[in-house]
Amino acid sequence: MTNDKNQNWYALDITVDSNASEAIEFGLNELEALGTEINNLGKKATETLCVTGYFNELPDDAATRSNLEEALRIHGFTPAALRRIDSRSVENTDWLAEWKKHWKPTVSEKFIVAPTWETIEESEKIVIRIEPSMAFGTGTHETTRLCLKAIEEDYKVGESFYDVGTGTGILAIAVAKLIEKAGENDFRAFIKGCDTDEDSIKIALENTELNNVSEAIELTTTSISANDPKFDYVCANLTADVIVPLLPLLLEKTNRILVLSGILKEQEDSIKAELRKFDIEDPAVETSGEWISVKIKK
């Protein structure tokens, strides 16, 4: 993101039932919002909330409504949860300074994921620096944290790693940093990240350079395919409707561990039913907020 004093910014203010606010935030990110925020100050659980997305250019009305209603559907809500959509212009970049105030480092067992402007005290943990652009790529979202937890628990230094739906590259960077910390820099484990969104890959490339691991990670604007080699460890942080048709390939390309995330708690039974088609019973399930990850060990 550039910080141009003459830049005109735009905002979509979405009034929504409070329990559906996260779905709307997801929908705004799918519309490529530069940032999002939820105004829930002093609100009761039964009230509506305003979810705001900021843009360089406003998406057209039809695309906005279509994406938001689809996000509601994925999260188990009807279009009735969407009360109103308003748009406005935002002067200069005042919103960006305000938005940045909300982003604080995310700390896990082995990692600290921090925005570039945040000062980090000296720590034994591995620091991953990110220039955020979308809420799903900052390391703060439950789906990202679930994948990081799985990596912390099960990734073995030197294993090949495939980050399917890499977004802003956090998971691939985390693995590269683990290898670096272990002093295995000369051992070039194959780390790959793919995403069909070109803007995400551009941001991921910037983040790999920011963390000095760009030479260790291959990033492509593709999806997993039959031409890919097998990887020891595969993470697919997508959504359930994207994961299901990819399951045969994801399982085929995994040597040891496959982690599926971006799945809502209410979708757990349907994902397990799909896995049973491949004779996979009782995979390990972790929960964070409304989301789960599913870990398959082969």
Task: Work out the angle between the directed axes of helices 21-30 and 61-74 (0-180°, nearest 10).
Answer: 130
What pLDDT, on the 0 to 100 scale, is given for residue 135? 43
166 close to 195: Cβ distance less than 8 angstroms? yes
Instruction: Indicate the pLDDT class of residue 248, thresholds 50, 70 and 90.
Output: very high
Residue 189 CA to residue 217 CA, distance in Å, equals 9
What pLDDT, on the 0 to 100 scale, is given for residue 2? 41
Average pLDDT, the chain: 87
Whole-number Cα distances in Å, 192 to 20, 40, 137, 170: 34, 38, 17, 12
R_g of the chain, CA atoms, integer Å: 19
Domains plus CATH for the chain?
A: 9-99 (3.30.70.260), 103-297 (3.40.50.150)
What pLDDT, on the 0 to 100 scale, is given for residue 214? 94
Across the range 124-131, mean pLDDT stands at 90
Residue type at 168 in one-letter notation: T
Across the range 109-119, mean pLDDT stands at 88
Across the range 6-16, mean pLDDT stands at 83
What pLDDT, on the 0 to 100 scale, is given for residue 43? 47
Residue 264 CA to residue 296 CA, distance in Å, equals 17
Whole-number Cα distances in Å, 201 to 97, 165, 266: 25, 10, 30
**Per-residue pLDDT tens digits for 196-246:** 988 889 889 999 999 999 999 999 999 999 999 999 999 999 989 999 999
Whole-number Cα distances in Å, 75 to 21, 281, 296, 298: 10, 25, 24, 30
Across the range 24-51, mean pLDDT stands at 77
Residue-wise DSSP of the chain: ----TT--EEEEEEEEEGGGHHHHHHHHHHTT-SEEEEE-TT--TTSEEEEEEEESSPPPHHHHHHHHHHHHHHTT--GGGEEEEEEEEE-TTHHHHHHHHT---EE-SSEEEEETT------SSEEEEE---SGGGSS-SHHHHHHHHHHHHH--TT--EEEET-TTSHHHHHHHHHHHHTT-TTS---EEEE-S-HHHHHHHHHHHHHTT-GGGEEEESS---TTS--EEEEEEES-HHHHHHHHHHHHHTEEEEEEEEEEEGGGHHHHHHHHHTTT--S-EEEEETTEEEEEEE-
Residue 46 has pLDDT above 90, yes or no: no
Q: Is the pTM of this model over 0.85?
A: no
Instruction: Indicate the pLDDT class of residue 157, thresholds 50, 70 and 90.
Output: very high
**Per-residue pLDDT tens digits for 186-208:** 556 799 999 998 888 988 999 99
